[in-house]
Amino acid sequence: MEENLTFDRQIAYRRAKNDYVDPHENTLRFAYEDGRFEKMAEELKYKDDILKLKVLREINEDVRDPTKIVRAINTSDLVHMLVYHLENKNDEIRRLASQSMKEICSVYRGREQILVNDYIKNLAKLVDDQIPVIRLNIYTSLFNLSEHVDGTDGVLKNNILEILVDKLLEEKEEDILLVILQLMKRLLYGEGAIGRILKTQAITRLLILLEKSNELVR
């Protein structure tokens, strides 16, 4: 219950407890209360690439915990900075940012943040990235984002379905191709998706994939 409260209400909730004791001024406090994520966001804005990489590696550790994703969103513009760095010229920065986005899109509050701020178009730009793992992270992010109806509708609204059809032949990495197929299958449950895909070359291209040796792709 407490995790679902806003920052100020969490503080009030803790202080209302009978066993609550104000922390000593020098005591380390929860990351949610000490501006940790706000500081990280600031460092991603203004520091050099070496420090940005250090911060992004820490973020990648943090976002494995869904509660920390919620805390980051509630206390900072960290998600915005991660989206911004999806277009960084440094391959490793883009990789780490996309890795974090994959985790953020797996959490309801994270998906909400992506949809409200219309970040899907930013994610979609990386389906052509030269680094395979970045493409994999982006397709997985879109797959996670499409878990519920709002996410599916948001992805469809950005014409991702038609892009996926093109990628059925363009994508050479079979592990990525598998995620593309899974994402397509999920999107086809969306409103109007069947009619749209029938206007593309999807059937012809799917028939070609039936000749693949990889049984998962078939």
Write the pLDDT tens digit of every residue in 79-119.
999 999 999 999 999 999 999 999 999 999 999 999 999 99
The three-point CA angle 157-160-165 to 5° equals: 135
The whole-number pLDDT of residue 203 equals: 86
The whole-number pLDDT of residue 27 equals: 39
The whole-number pLDDT of residue 157 equals: 94
Q: Is the pLDDT of residue 206 over 90?
A: no
Within 10 angstroms of residue 116's Cβ, the number of other Cβ atoms is 9
Q: How far apart are CA 160 and CA 158, in angstroms?
A: 6
